[in-house]
Amino acid sequence: MEKKRVNVYFSEDDEIELYATIEALAKEEKRSVNQQIKVMLAEAANARRERSQQNKEII
């Protein structure tokens, strides 16, 4: 699989707060900010998949 690259910019006030939170978590978990973002994206994607599956089971 070929590598993909995404640039994420944090410029609005609420985005800067989000970046500070990510940076603090990365430091706490001894990861780079890039690694922390990947972990958080994976967790969010899994949570969405699970919610989607639960919604399909209800219907």
DSSP secondary structure letters along the chain:
-----------SHHHHHHHHHHHHHHHHTT--HHHHHHHHHHHHHHHHHHHHHHHHHH-
Q: What local confidence, expressed as pLDDT, does residue 27 receive? A: 98
pTM score, whole prediction: 0.78
Q: What local confidence, expressed as pLDDT, does residue 25 receive? A: 97
Q: What is the mean pLDDT of each run of 10 residues along the chain (59 residues)?
A: 90 94 97 96 95 81
